[in-house]
Amino acid sequence: MIGSADIREWRGHAVVDEKDRRIGTLESVYVETASDQPFFATVTVGLPSRHRLVFVPLDGAVLGPGYVRVAFPKSLVKEAPSIGTDDVLPAENEPEVFAHYKLDYAPGAGGERRLARR
């Protein structure tokens, strides 16, 4: 498991898929609110004039020299739900991000958000 302090140090580094194909650049980390552990990363993709941030789970991610390798193929990540480079994931869009990767989603016991940007 990658700790929150560790992953923040990798902001701006390359994100690659399980076959070392470059996906984009690590922009930010979303933690699970119940545990404050890294759960998703946002990755900058697209042309410079049309950058967007896509979400990728950090489960199974590995840190290497100058990169973060995620456990998902580039094609799946590139099609993931996205937000603008200056945006934050709206609460109502959280289930869509989980569903894209076939991950179970349930809000907190009191209906609170599951993810928070760090």
pLDDT value for 8:
65
pLDDT value for 2:
61
Residue from 11, 5, 17 nearest 42 by CA = 11
**Cα atoms in the Cβ-side hemisphere of radius 13 Å centred on 35:** 9
Question: What is each CA distance from 24 to 15, 76, 106, 109, in whole angstroms?
Answer: 5, 13, 29, 34
pLDDT value for 64:
86
Q: Is the dihedral of CA 70, 72, 74, 79 positive or negative?
A: negative
Question: What is each CA distance from 87 to 51, 69, 102, 105, 117, in whole angstroms?
Answer: 12, 24, 24, 22, 11
In tens digits, the chain (118 residues) has pLDDT values of 565 556 667 789 999 999 999 999 999 999 898 888 889 999 999 888 889 999 999 999 998 888 999 999 999 999 999 999 889 999 999 999 999 999 999 887 777 888 988 7
pLDDT value for 3:
57
Encode pLDDT of 56-90 as tens digits. 999 999 988 889 999 999 999 999 999 998 899 99
The residue count of the chain comes to 118
